[in-house]
Amino acid sequence: MATLDGKNVLVIATNYGVEQDEIVVPVEQLRERGATVTVAAQESGSIETLVGDKDPGKSVDTDTTIGSVSADRYDALVVPGGTINADTIRQDTDAVALVSAFAEAGKPVAAICHGPWTLIEAGVVSGRTITSFPSLQTDVRNAGGEWVDQEVQVDGGLITSRNPDDLPAFVDAIEHALTA
């Protein structure tokens, strides 16, 4: 039996601009550990990822749309980064509402790199300690949070990491939150 058997994880992203490894690695590794992972994007079809915010990456098939999912069907939420993805998704009212719903329900919300912009938009950072891509530290502080330069930071239900290099610790922290 895999450690995450019976756990349902939702990954949300835009259809263009997600940092390739920040969506591919968590989806693959959480599935390998037994989780059922649903990938939701703004539109059905596929997600065109980028490598380093500029080079074309892999296409990722979507399972559904952000507007058609609800937090009550899932045990955790993952918000990958990529500057274009993160800047776009934080303006998506359905995505922001999902972050709020997961946080209010006490379910893990994991965001990496620029993904914490959506946490800021959802108003869940105040009084919390998080990490992110370094350029977000002023945004985190302005939202009432404390920013730290750590591979992974867990504060209550918020799990955050800085960049693709932190993915092993990020995925491990998600697994730990789902089995604790």
Burial of 135 (0-12, 13-18, 19+ CB in 10 A): exposed
Extract the tokens encoding 108.
Answer: 């893990």
The tens-digit pLDDT sequence of the chain (180 residues) is: 589 999 999 999 999 999 999 999 999 999 999 999 999 999 999 999 999 999 999 999 999 999 999 999 999 999 999 999 999 999 999 999 999 999 999 999 999 999 999 999 999 999 999 999 999 999 999 999 999 999 999 999 999 999 999 999 999 999 999 998
| 145-152 contacts, C-beta under 8 A, 24 or more apart | 145/120
DSSP 83: H
Chain centroid, CA 140 distance in Å: 16
pLDDT of residue 1: 59
CATH topology of domain 8-179: Rossmann fold (3.40.50)
pLDDT of residue 14: 98
pTM: 0.97
Strands (E), 20-168: 36-41, 46-51, 55-61, 64-65, 76-79, 109-112, 129-130, 146-147, 152-155, 158-161
Catalytic residue IDs: 114
For residues 144 and 114, is the Cβ–Cβ distance under 8 A? no
**Region for 92 from its dihedrals, namely left if φ exceeds 0, alpha if ψ lies in -120 to 50, beta otherwise:** beta
CA distance 169 to 113: 13
pLDDT of residue 45: 95
Domains of the chain by residue range: 8-179
- Residue 166, amino acid: D
